[in-house]
Structure 1
Amino acid sequence: MARILLAEDDESMRRFLANALEKAGHSVISYGSGDLAHEKLIGDVFDVLLTDIVMPEMDGIELARRAAELDPTLKIMFITGFAAVALNPESEAPKEARVLSKPFHLRELVQEVDRLLAA
């Protein structure tokens, strides 16, 4: 299926999300910070960036902005409890990025990733 780069600073949430996506057939590489995820994006190719918005150091919006510069075809989805931040027109989030608001069921996550890939 797809190669997914996951950036989530909460370790248990990161493992939980990665496991669900892997069970759905996706290949997932995950990092606990935007900085480390960005480093991986520089040297590798992914189909989807799945990132939390609120993270220390480099937040998800900055990570998504930089990722879109590196690969304009990369599909981007935010997972967050702060959806209004991503949807704020003042943010520099890529306009085509999708937002999945917490809390969500793992089935919803997989469905949204599949929809994003199909778009």
Structure 2
Amino acid sequence: MTRILLAEDEPAMREYLVRSLEKNGYEVVAVDCGSKAAPLLESRSFDLLLTDIVMPEMDGIELARHCSKVSPETKVMFITGFSGVALRAGEEMPSAKILSKPFHLRDLVLEVERMFGQQSASGLS
């Protein structure tokens, strides 16, 4: 089972993403900021870091840099509603995927499946 670490500071968005990803067969550990996600990357194994870029304490780009140092095998996907920070994230982490808000959950699940070469088991609608 693919294990995802989700860092998203908006509670409603975090819950929405967790429900959708779990419904599609992913194991999700969710936190509300990068500073809570960083130690988890050091102590547990994750296949994907799914992180908002704009967050308090430690932003998603800082978190992704930390991830590349402590868990280089973990893939990174950014989610953001700000085009300017999306460009910066793409420059800083060119191998990361970037998904701009607003997005449909189907798009998120399809992007995760593409990253891992999987087919959707539940047919999210």
- TM-score tier by shorter-chain length is over 0.9
Structure 1 residue 39: Cα displacement:
1.2
Paired residues in the alignment total 118
Matching of residue 7 in structure 1 with residue 7 in structure 2:
yes
Deviation string 1:26-55 (CA, Å, 9 cap, x unpaired) is: 000000010001111110000000000000
Instruction: State the TM-score, normalizing by the size of structure 2.
Output: 0.88
Tell me the equivalent position of 1:96: 95
Matching of residue 106 in structure 1 with residue 105 in structure 2:
yes
RMSD over aligned CA atoms reads: 1.7
Q: Is the Cα–Cα contact under 8 Å of residues 61 and 86 in structure 1 kept in the other structure?
A: no
Structure 1 residue 90: Cα displacement:
8.8
Matching of residue 26 in structure 1 with residue 20 in structure 2:
no
> Which is greater in Rg?
2
Structure 1 residue 109: Cα displacement:
0.6
Identity %: 53
Structure 1 residue 89: Cα displacement:
7.5
Paired letter, 1:79: I
Specify whether residues 110 and 82 from structure 1 end up closer, same or farther in structure 2 by C-alpha distance, changes over 3 A only: same
Q: Is the Cα–Cα contact under 8 Å of residues 9 and 55 in structure 1 kept in the other structure?
A: yes
Matching of residue 64 in structure 1 with residue 48 in structure 2:
no
Tell me the equivalent position of 2:85: 85
Instruction: State the TM-score, normalizing by the size of structure 1.
Output: 0.92
Deviation string 1:4-26 (CA, Å, 9 cap, x unpaired) is: 00000001100000100000000
Runs of 4 or more above 4 Å deviation: none
Structure 1 residue 83: Cα displacement:
3.5
Q: Is the Cα–Cα contact under 8 Å of residues 81 and 102 in structure 2 kept in the other structure?
A: yes
Specify whether residues 57 and 26 from structure 1 end up closer, same or farther in structure 2 by C-alpha distance, changes over 3 A only: same
Partner SS for 2:95: coil
Paired letter, 2:109: V
User: Distance between the aligned counterparts of 1:89 and 1:32, measured in 2?
Assistant: 19
Partner SS for 2:72: coil
Q: Is the Cα–Cα contact under 8 Å of residues 75 and 117 in structure 1 kept in the other structure?
A: no
